[in-house]
Amino acid sequence: MTNQDRDTTESSSGGVSLLNVSGDYAGQRIDNYLSARLKGVPKSRIYRLLRTGEIRVNKGRAKPDRRLEAGDVIRLPPIRVAESEVRRPPASLLKRLEDAIVYEDDQLMVIDKPAGIAVHSGTGIDFGVIEGLQVCRPDVPGLSLVHRLDRETSGCLLLCKDRRLLPELNRVLASGAFDKRYLALVCGEWDGGRRSVRAPLALKRAGDQERRNEVNLDEGKSSETVFLPRERLNGFTLLEARLHSGRMHQIRAHAAHIGHPLAGDDKYGDRVRNRALKRFGLKRLFLHAYHLSFAMPGSGKPIRVEIPLAEDLQSVLERMKAPGR
């Protein structure tokens, strides 16, 4: 490994440090990068330091999702961590994540993400998938998320164990060469067969924290979801959804846009029908990432993982189909 492959740290006045980002970390999000470098510092504090501009990249402010480039210079203020702030993910979370691993090799890991666990920490969330798995795999310092799932969505979640591969995987993901398929229960009787929804989505903020994507023909980013009906269930329809882009809440926003909101969706959904579904045992968003396939950059090795519908969602379907329902 050459010096260009290693991060370097320089001291500045007033206890300020300057981190020079090596090519080894190119493509990694700055929040994940700093969480790994600033051991013991809560991610909530990292977000606050980024938001207030105390942490800067190339002398400018940076959002938590900014992807680093080789040669970036990160300015860090003096950061002290009280012993009471240093926390470790609970053993119960670590066990759930270990048990959720369905595929692993030298470069990749795929887990069956449990519903209710966020992919990373944030406001009001101390630990997510990535923080837990970084504890489970202390010998894999480059472990990173390749994509994300909503907190209440279960199923295939891909992680990269070699940060040098992450930019390549991100490019494959952005090109649409990832085949990502979901199972979703939507409200209403589906009319016809396959339907492609091409509707640009723009991120909107409602209040201080809530974010949602809305169809906006003028300001939205191009987005496409293909829906295929699987089963009709007396006022509801089980669909397969295939993503041809990767916007936040894309399936949820597109389904609501065409008048078929997802069952159990408290942000884009139908509150009346969501209440009615509780009698079938639905306690969360009915969305499960069941299929992930792509060719590895460079080698072309095919990667394919399928995870059956989560047990809690399968139970809901069985209750809905039971005689007398």
Q: Which sequence positions are flagged as catalytic?
A: 150
The answer to whether the CB of 24 falls within 8 A of the CB of 43 is no
Token look-up 């089963």 returns: 231
Strand segments, DSSP code E, in the chain are 8-11, 17-20, 56-57, 73-76, 101-104, 108-113, 144-145, 154-160, 179-187, 195-198, 201-206, 210-215, 224-232, 236-243, 287-295, 302-306
**Which of 70, 50, 150, 157 has the alpha carbon at shortest distance from 108?**
157
- Between the alpha carbon of residue 290 and those of residues 156, 180, 305, 308, the distances in Å are 6, 8, 8, 6
Residue type, 19: L
**Which of 47, 40, 46, 31 has the alpha carbon at shortest distance from 85?**
40
Q: Quick one: CA dihedral 98, 32, 287, 283, positive or negative?
A: positive
**Which of 63, 61, 66 has the alpha carbon at shortest distance from 27?**
66
The answer to whether the CB of 27 falls within 8 A of the CB of 167 is yes
CA distance 287 to 265: 9
DSSP output for 116-156 = T--SS-BTTBS--HHHHHHHH-TT-TT-EESS---TT-EEE
Name beta bridge partners: 184.
239, 287
State the distance between the two ends of the chain, measured CA to CA, in whole angstroms: 64
CA distance 109 to 101: 7
